[in-house]
Amino acid sequence: MTRIAAAVVIVLVLAQASFAADIKPVRIVTPNNMIVLIVDQPSLPIVTVNVLVKAGAVHDPDALAGLAYMTAGMLDEGTKTRSAAQIAQQIEFIGGELATQGAQDFSTVTLRVLKKDVDLGLTILSDILMNPIFAEKDVARVRGELMGQLQGEKDEPGVIAIKAFDEIVFQGNPYRRAANGTEKTVPKITRNDLVQFHHTYYRPNRTIVAIVGDIREHEALDVVRKHFGKWTKKDGVPSTFSPAVPLQQPKLKLIDKDLTQANVILGHLGIDRKNPDFYAVSVMNYILGGGGFSSRLVNRIRDQKGLAYDVDSGFQANVMPGPFTVQLQTRNAAANQAIASVVEEMKRIRTEPVSDQELADAKAYLIGSFPLRLDTTGKLAALLTLVELHGLGLSYFEDYPKAIRAVTKEDVLRVAEQYLHPDVYALVVVAKQSEAKINPEMVLGKP
Amino acid sequence: MVRRRFVALIALSAALFAADLSEAAETGPRVQETVLQNGLKVLVVEEPKAPVITVQIWYKVGSRNEIMGRAGLSHMLEHMMFKGTKKYAKGEFSKIIKKNGGNDNAFTSQDYTAYFENLAADKLELALEMESDRLQGLLLDDNEFQLEREVVKEERRLRTEDNPQAYLVEQMFAQAFMEHPYHWPIIGWFNDLNAMTREDLKQHYERYYVPNNATLVIVGDVKNEAVVSLAKQYFERLPKGAPPTSPEIIDPVQRGERRVIVKRAAQLPFLYFGYKVPNFMSTDVHALAVLENVLSSGKSSRLYDTLVYRKKIALAVGASYSELSANPELYTFYAIVKPGAKIEEVEQSLLAEIERIKKEGPTDKEIQKAKNQVEAKHMFEQDSIFRQAMLLGTAETVGAGWQYIADYVKRLREVTKEDVKRVARRYFQEDTRTVGILIPVPPTAEATPVAGGTP
């Protein structure tokens, strides 16, 4: 029985590895130092373009938190030659999709069009990246929308919790600030700030473009040259930041809100994407709480006790070390019990080796499901830009399965010890505190 | 002058493109249908672009098949489908799929319950074997049910109780539908969840989980013959059941606008209203779909342009209509009020846009844009095998038939300006409107820290 299972796993791994390995992106550096990645997939007459610009919220001044987010949000709100309404009208008339988003490490613009509309799509895409105008009246409107969004977030306990968590865990590091800013900083962002931010950070040498779909390599290069050729590069932008100061002792933050559930986030600093332990950490986290119904946390907190609909753990491996978090929601009165169970599971995976079966299952999932992460043009384009951002190399699609396969039980134990801190963590609980009655003795696992 | 020319150019190129797109758009997914001897319908789309498949089994049962006092039974049963059969113990289903590199889950709506596995193409047999096993072999252990009831209650707290907007949506539907089961929420009321028994679940399962009440949809890197042969091998042993009857409940004619107000601690006022409209059975549905696009699709749509861009009184605004429901449903509108704006003004502006399209209809350009958007979307949807299977499964399960999806673009292209104006006038009637309004009241407890620090 076990033998058969092992044979099946090997066959699967080979089949999957060959598909992923078949993805051979072409990588080109343009004369103005923009990186272009192309994957020709002619099966449907569509083209997806994913643009990543190293213009994220990490570059926000403290007093202007939200600047990068608002800059990205305003790219499609008017250029030197097109009003906001014209941009929307032109792209939507052809059924195209254009979206912008600001995040911590970078901002993105994504475009999806039918093959016949690639040139028009790139015309608009390059225009909003290179020539946004940030008209005063639009700045005022978008600022108002952003203030409304920030106010609306106070109805979302999960958002309240993660924002409080980041402030505690990322002391001294830009990740402590929410990408979309605060009600104090957003009103201070002026047109001039947006113009300056764009001028400094939106440059071809800070940009990665992935083009995936029904397009030949030379066609892709032609449109890139035509539309981005005149974009001028700018060097010398500082991009190092002070690292977060790790917590010295556990920290508890309780936020009172009239809710039926306690929204819990527990965690601490994690790893960056370049960390060679990324793969071992992925396997370890899958077993702990990343693997859905196959994970220890779901098994214990949901399946055995019925305490939560959802509980999961994760390492967000960013350019700098991101957070490790365990998140769950449970009825107020069960919060203490659920949190104590989380801490116990963190301790257990640090002290006892995982079983052979757990290790094999985790690796089989991570390797076997890899193609599912590449099976649409949108998923592949997004992943390509990240592979480039983190310098993982064009052989990533072959390397990933190999790296996962190489992880051992000893690796899992070692990285659990090294990267999980069940004694020193931040714990944020947004709940009706009179019902949750959080007991610090119980939830701040004693050393 | 320059601008006019530009518009004319766009219109011209659109006409040219419409011609060269039509062939591709109409190709659509190539569906192959087989009906097994026990009535199970198998739909296959061969899509070899990546070595992966989605396996989905759709049951014609959802909250519309429940009776008063047992709201949420179908969804609860969906949860129990993961709690073990004689062959596979509790939790094994998902664990086996995962260790085979797949993802699995399920979803329940008013009209259907569906289960899916996304996995490597060579795992087809595994998924079929396990789905066939739980079609009739479910344990429904009472202890597991007691535990899972608590999980579902947590799900309700998460999705509805602690979410003011979702809470209003639930209240609005309960007003819009009085006798039809669309009255109650898919997840159920707390009282009904508490009252539910294992026996209820067992009856529901035995009645609706029969091969002749299900559709198997498989899209991906497979051959139809291989799928059909495996489907026969695993599913044909299951006996056909008594054909489940559908509830024939017709909600009484609504005679006058209904309004429901929710006052609770919240940050932003929220408006959500709906009109009674027909489902796929009506020939008006394609014009209604174009109408939806004109009103709310994208930033160039009328609602966004008026309420967000020009009047600056809403943070978000939209309309939603899907004809793929088993019984006639609602054409809904929503708006999140921008801080400082009045909810009355937002409602009046929305209604004014509705009146305007009833009077003037859409422009030629709006009609062309809507058609272009639908055609492009149709193509984009084929990029995802999961999405393709979802569309086919939905159309088949609600009774429209999968051919409905294949014919959609063609039908939509026939819609005229006059059609859109006519359906707007016919269905956007004050007397069949139900309006829900969320009015924020001061919280009993502010979202501020009350304690904390370091022990």
Distance CA B118, CA B101 (A): 9
Q: Does B376 touch chain A (CB under 8 A)?
A: yes
- Selected for mutation to probe chain B from A100, A118, A155, A299 (highest B CB count within 10 Å) is A155
Give the pLDDT of residue B68: 95
The residue-averaged pLDDT of B64-81 equals 97
Nearest partner of B49 among A22, A203, A113, judged by Cα: A22
| Lowest-confidence segment of A6-20, A184-198, B259-273, B291-305 by average pLDDT | A6-20
- Selected for mutation to probe chain A from B10, B49, B53, B99 (highest A CB count within 10 Å) is B99
Distance CA A312, CA A327 (A): 6
Check B155 against A88: CB less than 8 A apart.
Answer: no
B1: pLDDT strictly greater than 50: no
- More confident of the two residues B74 and B30: B74
- Nearest CA to CA, how far is A374 from chain B (Å)? 9
Distance CA B137, CA B206 (A): 10
Backbone phi, psi, residue B11, to 5°? -60, -40
Give the pLDDT of residue B18: 36
Give the pLDDT of residue B3: 32
Amino acid, res. B400: A
B2: pLDDT strictly greater than 60: no
- Chain B CB contacts of A114 under 8 Å are 21, 376, 379
Give the pLDDT of residue B246: 79
Check A147 against B339: CB less than 8 A apart.
Answer: yes
- Chain A CB contacts of B446 under 8 Å are 256
ipTM of the complex: 0.91
Q: CA-CA distances (angstroms) from residue B21 to A115, A118, B183, B348, B379?
A: 10, 14, 42, 40, 10
Contact between residue B432 and residue B275 where contact means Cβ atoms under 8 Å apart:
yes
B26: pLDDT strictly greater than 70: no
* Environment class of A353 (CB within 10 Å of its CB; exposed 0-12, middle 13-18, buried 19+): middle
Give the pLDDT of residue B401: 96
**Which tens digit of pLDDT belongs to each residue from B324-353?**
999 999 999 999 999 999 999 999 999 999
Amino acid, res. B222: V
Distance CA A365, CA A344 (A): 25
The residues of B annotated as belonging to the active site are 78
- Nearest CA to CA, how far is A163 from chain B (Å)? 13
Check A369 against B94: CB less than 8 A apart.
Answer: no
Distance CA B190, CA B152 (A): 10
Contact between residue B106 and residue B208 where contact means Cβ atoms under 8 Å apart:
no
Contact between residue B326 and residue B394 where contact means Cβ atoms under 8 Å apart:
no
Per-residue confidence at B88, pLDDT binned at 50, 70, 90?
very high
Could you give the strand order of the β-sheet that contains A107-114, starting from the edge strand earlier in sequence? A26-29, A35-40, A207-213, A46-53, A107-114, A97-102
- Nearest CA to CA, how far is A349 from chain B (Å)? 19
Contact between residue A210 and residue A384 where contact means Cβ atoms under 8 Å apart:
yes
Give A356-394 as a 3 state SS string.
HHHHHHHHHHHHHCHHHHCCCHHHHHHHHHHHHHCCCCC
Instruction: Give domain A251-443's CATH architecture.
Output: 2-Layer Sandwich (3.30)
Residue ranges of A 239-268 with Cβ closer than 8 A to chain B: 249-261
- Chain A CB contacts of B100 under 8 Å are 8, 12, 364, 368
Residue extents of the structural domains in chain A: 23-228, 251-443
B205: pLDDT strictly greater than 90: yes
Contact between residue A200 and residue A234 where contact means Cβ atoms under 8 Å apart:
yes
Domains and CATH numbers, chain B: 27-235 (3.30.830.10), 258-445 (3.30.830.10)
The residue-averaged pLDDT of B114-127 equals 97
Chain A nearest-CA residue for B155: A309
Give the pLDDT of residue B244: 87
Q: Does B108 touch chain A (CB under 8 A)?
A: no
Q: Does A392 touch chain B (CB under 8 A)?
A: no
The residue-averaged pLDDT of B312-320 equals 96
Q: Does B452 touch chain A (CB under 8 A)?
A: yes
Strand pairing class (A97-102; A107-114)? antiparallel
Residue B224 region, left (φ>0) first, then alpha (ψ -120 to 50), else beta?
alpha
B4: pLDDT strictly greater than 90: no
Nearest partner of A106 among A66, A62, A143, A69, judged by Cα: A69
Give the pLDDT of residue A446: 59
Number of residues written out for chain B: 455
Distance CA A424, CA A62 (A): 27
Q: CA-CA distances (angstroms) from residue A35 to A92, A384, A426, B259?
A: 28, 11, 39, 56
Contact between residue B91 and residue B162 where contact means Cβ atoms under 8 Å apart:
no
Query: Which residues sit opposite B433 in a β-bridge?
Result: B275
Per-residue confidence at B293, pLDDT binned at 50, 70, 90?
very high
The b/e string for B177-213 (b: 16+ C-beta within 10 A; e otherwise) is beebbbbbbbbbbbebbeebeeebbeebbeebbbbbb
B444: pLDDT strictly greater than 80: no
Angle between helices B364-381 and B403-413 (to 10 degrees): 160
**Which tens digit of pLDDT belongs to each residue from B144-199?**
999 999 999 999 999 999 999 999 999 999 999 999 999 999 999 999 999 999 99
Between chain A and chain B, the number of residue pairs with CB atoms below 8 A apart is: 243
> Which stretches of chain A score pLDDT less than 50?
1-17, 447
Task: Please name the fold of domain A23-228.
Answer: Cytochrome Bc1 Complex; Chain A, domain 1 (3.30.830)
Contact between residue B409 and residue B378 where contact means Cβ atoms under 8 Å apart:
yes
Distance CA B83, CA B62 (A): 19
B454: pLDDT strictly greater than 60: no
Give the pLDDT of residue B406: 86
Q: CA-CA distances (angstroms) from residue A205 to A132, A208, A418, B76?
A: 18, 8, 36, 53
- Nearest CA to CA, how far is A54 from chain B (Å)? 26
Check A148 against B336: CB less than 8 A apart.
Answer: yes
Give the pLDDT of residue B277: 96
Residue ranges of B 199-218 with Cβ closer than 8 A to chain A: none
B7: pLDDT strictly greater than 90: no
Distance CA A407, CA A424 (A): 27
Backbone phi, psi, residue B329, to 5°? -125, -150
The residue-averaged pLDDT of B399-415 equals 93
Give chain B as a 3 state SS string.
CHHHHHHHHHHHHHHHHHHHHHHHHHHCCCEEEEECCCCCEEEEEECCCCCEEEEEEEECCCHHHCCCCCCCHHHHHHHHCCCCECCCCCCHHHHHHHHCCCEEEEEECCCCEEEEEEEEHHHHHHHHHHHHHHHHCECCCHHHHHHHHHHHHHHHHHHHHCCHHHHHHHHHHHHHCCCCHHHCCCCCCHHHHHHCCHHHHHHHHHHHCCHHHEEEEEEECCCHHHHHHHHHHHHCCCCCCCCCCCCCCCCCCCCCCEEEEEEEECCCCEEEEEEECCCCCCCCHHHHHHHHHHHHCCCCCHHHHHHHHHCCCEEEEEEECCCCCCCCCEEEEEEEECCCCCHHHHHHHHHHHHHHHHHHCCCHHHHHHHHHHHHHHHHHHCCCHHHHHHHHHHHHHHCCCCHHHHHHHHHHHCCCHHHHHHHHHHHCCHHHEEEEEEEEECCCCCCEEEEEECC
Q: CA-CA distances (angstroms) from residue A44 to A25, A94, B29, B316, B388?
A: 18, 17, 11, 33, 13
Nearest partner of B153 among B189, B110, B119, B185, judged by Cα: B189
Paired tokens of B407 = 């014919």
- Chain B CB contacts of A157 under 8 Å are 162
Residue A86 neighbours by CB under 8 Å, 6+ apart = none
Residue B346 region, left (φ>0) first, then alpha (ψ -120 to 50), else beta?
alpha
- Asked whether the domain spanning A251-443 has the same topology as the one spanning A23-228, the reply is yes
